[in-house]
């Protein structure tokens, strides 16, 4: 639990930095437009962005029987978690990672950011986010 809270706080800090970075990018672009465009085209320049559209999918957490369904609706990525007859659906707010190997996703609930248990891997598609397979539940 302590680790999850720390992760959520770290993501909140990262989001604040992203907003500040967006402002800095615009300021930098005033004098250095070519350099700014080149940077934003790199994986590092896209490491925390709105989610890219991807194919729908399903991921099952073997230990708990939970199923995460991924779909796009009205231009938004949605992750739906179903377990034991209960279902919760979350809009994905952010995509983390440069997208070279994988992308993981962040949902925002009120002013808290949480990692989705589903990650897109370029080599094979949707699967559990790193670390989730070993947990007894999601």
User: Residue 127 has what pLDDT?
Assistant: 98
64 Rama class: left (phi>0) / alpha (psi -120 to 50) / beta: alpha
User: For residues 67 and 79, is the Cβ–Cβ distance under 8 A?
Assistant: no
* Lowest mean pLDDT across 76-85, 96-105, 116-125: 96-105
Residues in the chain: 138
pLDDT(39) > 70: yes
> What is the CB neighbour count within 10 angstroms for residue 18?
14
CA gap 121, 24 in Å, rounded: 30
User: Residue 45 has what pLDDT?
Assistant: 78
Confidence of residue 65 (pLDDT cuts 50, 70, 90): very high
Percentage of residues in the chain having pLDDT higher than 90: 52
CA gap 71, 80 in Å, rounded: 8
Task: Say which residue the tokens 């995460």 belong to.
Answer: 68
Q: What pTM was computed for the model?
A: 0.73
Which residues are within 8 A (CB) of 98 and not within 5 positions of it... i.e. 6 or more apart?
Answer: 42, 43, 44, 46, 47
Which residues are within 8 A (CB) of 49 and not within 5 positions of it... i.e. 6 or more apart?
Answer: 94, 95
């Amino acid at each position: 639990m302590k680790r999850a809270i720390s992760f959520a706080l770290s993501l909140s800090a990262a989001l604040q930095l992203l907003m500040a970075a967006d402002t800095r990018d615009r300021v930098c672009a005033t004098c250095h437009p070519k350099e700014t465009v080149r940077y934003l085209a790199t994986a590092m320049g896209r490491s925390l962005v709105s989610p890219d559209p991807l194919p729908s999918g399903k991921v099952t957490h073997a230990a708990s029987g939970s199923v995460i369904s991924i779909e796009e609706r009205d231009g938004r990525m949605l992750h739906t978690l179903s377990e034991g007859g209960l279902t919760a659906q979350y809009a994905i707010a952010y995509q983390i990672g440069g997208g070279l190997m994988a992308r993981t996703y962040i949902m925002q609930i009120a002013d808290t950011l949480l990692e989705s248990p589903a990650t897109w891997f370029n080599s094979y598609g949707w699967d559990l986010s790193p670390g989730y397979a070993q947990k007894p539940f999601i």
